[in-house]
Structure 1
Amino acid sequence: MSASEKRRDRERAQRHQLIITAARELAEAEGWEAMTTRRLAERVEYSQPVLYSHFSGKDAIVRAVAIDGFGELAADLRRARLASPEPPQTLRAVCRAYLEFAAQRPALYQAMFVMPTDVKFAHAETPPPLRAAFDEFVSCYRPDNTQRELAAEVIWSAVHGIATLSGSGRIPPDSQEERLDFLVNQLADTSG
């Protein structure tokens, strides 16, 4: 590959990431309904055809934002898990980091879990960042626990429910720690 081809590839990757970042910023500021390809093209100062050379449309952009979000979520969960290496504090720390992620990045969380995308969960085609986030929950359980993946699915489902209900105002935020304590006490068994 020539130097000019490498530069072109690097510039294309930078444009691609710029579009993802701008879409996310626009959604965080004004909501996903405000994020149109036309507004996004204006924001990144590229024509719509350039935008479409990277993404087939809004759904593809939301998918890319979601996958980036899973990478960020995995990093946050990993930091939390490594900072609290003793069970059940490990599980509690990961769950708290998850809830904080959802509360601090509502539009990103919406792209990851609420908006329709073709991102496959628990599948051979699951994107690595999504699998990495899930594996942080799995890692909260001892390796000899034969149901650790099942436990991780249940805990993730429960924490997602708390995040969604809290984010929509359907359950009061002042009981968050109590919910977290209850959840962890019920599901933190790390024996086999």
Structure 2
Amino acid sequence: MSVQERKRRERAERERLIVATARELAEEHGWEAVTTRRLAERIEYSQPVLYSHFRGKREIIGAVALDGAAELAAAVRAATSGATLPHERVIALARSYLVFAERHPAVYDAIFQLDGGLAYAQEDTPEPLKDAFAALLETLAEVAGTGVHPGLFTEVFWASLHGLATLTRAGRLLPQDAARRIELLADRLAVV
């Protein structure tokens, strides 16, 4: 291995460490606790090293969002792959999405709530974000209904899931009705 290859590998490993540590801190203490000073202390590198990888917290949030979007896409695909009927796939999609939001609130916020400097619904949208939407579209396109644009339907269904995730996390919805909400959403919106 050449010196340059080793340096590239070490740089990539440092970057993964920074992102993983930021995510860990955010999940433990919230995004307010994620500062370059605290990150530098936690990973035992200087702040200038952090700034050689990321221009600041906003870019770190963006990197966490991209990793999280890839994880969300994988979770949705895994959940829907085991279902045989379209309605079952929609239910599995909704459950996996809401479980992801519940288990990874800081990552969910990085993807959907915080400014990570990422473009959404644009030509220059990063691939992991496009793929997360595609993972939803793959299942929802088949239940959009005649004459309904599958992408538009996916946006509306996704917005509904986001609302459920956000309101549940804020304690505004009774947890015992979660399964019934998913069924109602699937029954009312998905045309099977």
Report the identity percentage.
46
- 1:98-177 map, 5 Å: 98-140=97-139, 141-142=141-142, 147-177=149-179
TM-score, normalising length: structure 2: 0.94
Query: What is the Cα-based RMSD across aligned positions, in Å?
Result: 1.5
**Contact 1:66–1:111 (Cα < 8 Å) also in 2:** yes
| Residue of structure 1 in register with 2:21 after alignment | 22
> 1:103-124: CA deviations, max 9, x gaps?
0011111111111232222111
**Contact 1:31–1:107 (Cα < 8 Å) also in 2:** yes
Q: Which runs of 4+ in 1 moved over 6 A?
A: none
**Contact 1:76–1:97 (Cα < 8 Å) also in 2:** yes
Post-superposition offset of 1:142: 2.5
SS in 2 for 1:24: helix
Amino acid at match of 1:8: K
> 1:131-162: CA deviations, max 9, x gaps?
11111111112299652111111110000000
Structure 2 residue 65 is the aligned partner of structure 1 residue 63: no
> 1:137-192: CA deviations, max 9, x gaps?
111122996521111111100000000000111111111111101100112115xx
Amino acid at match of 1:158: S
**Contact 1:91–1:137 (Cα < 8 Å) also in 2:** no
TM-score, normalising length: structure 1: 0.94
Structure 2 residue 182 is the aligned partner of structure 1 residue 180: yes
SS in 2 for 1:38: helix
SS in 2 for 1:88: helix
- Give the whole-Å Cα distance in 2 for the aligned partners of 1:91 and 1:120: 27
State the number of aligned residues. Answer: 189
Could you tell me which runs of 5 or more consecutive residues in structure 2 were left unpaired when the two chains were aligned: none
- Give the whole-Å Cα distance in 2 for the aligned partners of 1:98 and 1:137: 9
Larger displacement relative to structure 2 (66-75 or 109-118): 109-118
Amino acid at match of 1:131: K
Could you tell me which runs of 5 or more consecutive residues in structure 1 were left unpaired when the two chains were aligned: none
